[in-house]
Structure 1
Amino acid sequence: MLEQALLTDMSGRPIAQDGPTSSRDWDEVQEFCRRVYMPYRVRPATPRLLPSATMRSVEVQRITMTRFSYGVPVHLDNFDPAAGNILVLNTIKGALRHKQDEVSDVSTGAGESFVVDCSRTDYWLDADSHHMQLNLTIPHQAMADVAMHWLGFVPDDTLWTRRLAFGGNGSRWYALLCYVVRSVEACGRLKAEPVMARHLEELLCLELLQTWGDGVGLAMRKETMPVTPRYVRQAEEIMSEQADNPPTIGEIARMVGVSARALSDGFRRSRGVTPYDFLRARRLEGLRKALQNPSLGETVTSIAADWGYVNLGALARIYRRRFGELPSHTLAAAKQT
């Protein structure tokens, strides 16, 4: 079922995508990967080896699904934790070798999957020359939101720091991937189906939470799992809701009833980032959404000013490092649709 995933819709037409769907240029491939995954380092098995990459992507609410292959053997490492993303690497064909823990690795083949929260732990992988992936990039915050809504708590790093190989052709996870792919192919582009996109996002996150917990021996029940401190969750809500004009970290700490140091320590223990890192990520995400949905006559300068960005040069650098393109490119693409 997944062998042809994301190639055509239910009518046999290619699924619409902005930008190239294949490339033999390393810069072009790496820009795609920074945008749909996160910044990381890639080294081909042989120096000066050119890629023969497949690059397809579709958004499922906050999740990015990609059909991807370098087309050559590679080693990947130095995944950027500041991006705040979980990777689920689902192998269609070929094989990957993943860092399992500090002393061992594990391989996944066709139909098998691997999950790692790159915002919470380091990671590397080796891919053979035949690999083809159907990967998911899931913001850590999306998983936390689904956990809170459906489970009533957010797991701490006891779960997020564990890497797991799972799935297989007969697994419930594989069946869910097939269902999601068919839904994507039926829509052609999920941006036009927001209700279905939210439904699929929740299905994927909830199933992954349960499978992940079962796989590492953690019962995903409120009474058995350590929880994120209340004041951290409250601070996250404040920063997410007021990202365009946020209070200072000290003001946020007072609003949730703790000191700035206690808030910072709580974020580091339960989220693996500082409150400032969390707020910066929400602000960039909010700016990107504003650029993707501009009002008539808006410019990068006017939208950036609404979000409190005055140094456009610095903004362009951090925006490109986070999303793989310049703010002007995001705005131009939005105006063309």
Structure 2
Amino acid sequence: MHDLSSEPVLPLARYRLAVTGSPEEIRSMVGREINDYGLSLVGRDEQLRARFHGVSLRNAGLYYLAYGATVRLDILDAGGFVVQMPLAGSAAISMTGAERFVSHSLRPAVLQPRTRAGISLDAACEHLLIRLDEDLVRSVLRKKLCRDVNGPLAFAPQMDLTIGANRAFRELLTLLTSMLDNDVSHSSLAISEFETLLAGQLLIGQPNRYSEELHRPARPAVARTISRAADLIEAHADQHLTGDDIAAAVGISTRSLQDGFRRYFGVTPRTYIRNVRLQRARHELLCADPARVTVTSVAVRWGFSHLGRFSALYRTAFGESPSDTLRLKDDAPTHIECG
């Protein structure tokens, strides 16, 4: 009898998506999960033995893929940032604007949105693919730089796993794979946090357009000034505040205040004030007696004179209407302190 226990357990085996000899079936399945692409068999006498495992997370996806034959992939758009991490075999890769190179276990490839790539995989090639949504990576970058970012991130196309920061990326990926293999729910908070960790480690370790700024020493004096401005807003959110007032109070120009808030919080001072007031309004609605308090009175108290605009902003921020929050008073979380 054949001993099944002697067969190696493949990564993400419990998330099997396809085992097939059909080029169209595997192309369609991978295209649905990661990105659309062209697939062609290179060896005339080879038979495709494709295996595809994986799971889509909230803002990412992790996959194991092997074709079992020599194939050529033509990618017009990776759809996100995709790190192709060979576990065995190798892949010859050519990308728009980059020299042709070979991807192997110590030199993974980094595919990018809106960038064409041609990939030739040998028959022995097995790899993990981690897809990080562009919105996720940009969000993490904005938080690291404390400002908005525009234009392509322009990662170097080949990753060097002999570098410490990139080894950390590989270790995070290994740990995430192990957690999923060991039945940790892919929708759990722990798994979701890995998405942000991987995006942050990719930004720190892999050379990109913002690497110099990411590694630039912080400017603590400026940070303290902006922090003081934020504290002032928190303390006086129920009062009339303008950018000029806040800038004068902390001793900088209005323009410096604007630049500082964009850098450290990713928003203007005006938006920061509005967000603080929305939070205060929500707290008051959660604590209020619906028989005695109206949404309008709370909105006006926190500086929102246009009820329709307040309701729209509130729903965007909290996923429910102000009136829904007020009606939920009896079900308010017990950790909310009212009074």
Aligned 8 A contact 1:15 1:189 in 2: no
1:185 positional shift: 2.2
Query: Which among 169, 180, 189 is matched to residue 184 of structure 1?
Result: 180
Query: Which residue matches 2:25?
Result: 28
Please give the secondary structure, in 2, of the residue aligned with 1:160: coil
What amino acid is aligned across from residue 85 of structure 1 in structure 2? G
Query: Which residue matches 1:134?
Result: 128
Does 2:170 align with 1:174? Answer: yes
Cα distance, 1:120–1:162 mapped onto 2, change above 3 Å: farther
Query: Which residue matches 1:97?
Result: 92
Query: Which among 161, 164, 177 is matched to residue 158 of structure 2?
Result: 164
Does 2:50 align with 1:53? Answer: yes
Does 2:80 align with 1:85? Answer: yes
Measure the CA separation in 1 of the matches of 2:210 and 2:146: 19
1:222 positional shift: 9.0
Cα distance, 1:157–1:54 mapped onto 2, change above 3 Å: same
Q: Which runs of 5+ in 2 are unaligned?
A: 1-7, 218-261, 268-339
Higher relative contact order (CA 8 A, sep 6+): 1
Give the paired residue count: 212
Provide the identity percentage: 15
1:1-337 → structure 2 map (5 Å cutoff): 6-7=11-12, 15-17=14-16, 19-20=17-18, 22-47=19-44, 49-80=46-77, 84-99=79-94, 102=97, 104-117=99-112, 119-153=113-147, 155-157=149-151, 159-160=153-154, 162-168=156-162, 171-191=167-187, 193=188, 195-213=189-207, 218-221=211-214
TM-score (norm. length: structure 2): 0.55
1:181 positional shift: 1.5
1:167 positional shift: 1.8
TM-score (norm. length: structure 1): 0.55
Q: Which runs of 5+ in 1 are unaligned?
A: 8-13, 225-229, 235-337
What amino acid is aligned across from residue 114 of structure 1 in structure 2? A
1:156 positional shift: 4.3
RMSD: 3.2
What amino acid is aligned across from residue 198 of structure 2 in structure 1? L
Aligned 8 A contact 1:114 1:166 in 2: no
Please give the secondary structure, in 2, of the residue aligned with 1:58: strand
**1:225-248 deviation per Cα after TM superposition (whole angstroms, max 9, x unaligned):** xxxxx9xx99xxxxxxxxxxxxxx
Aligned 8 A contact 1:96 1:128 in 2: yes
Measure the CA separation in 2 of the matches of 1:169 and 1:26: 36
What amino acid is aligned across from residue 93 of structure 1 in structure 2? A
1:55 positional shift: 0.6
Please give the secondary structure, in 2, of the residue aligned with 1:34: helix
Larger Rg: 2
1:153 positional shift: 3.7
Please give the secondary structure, in 2, of the residue aligned with 1:179: helix
Cα distance, 1:106–1:16 mapped onto 2, change above 3 Å: closer
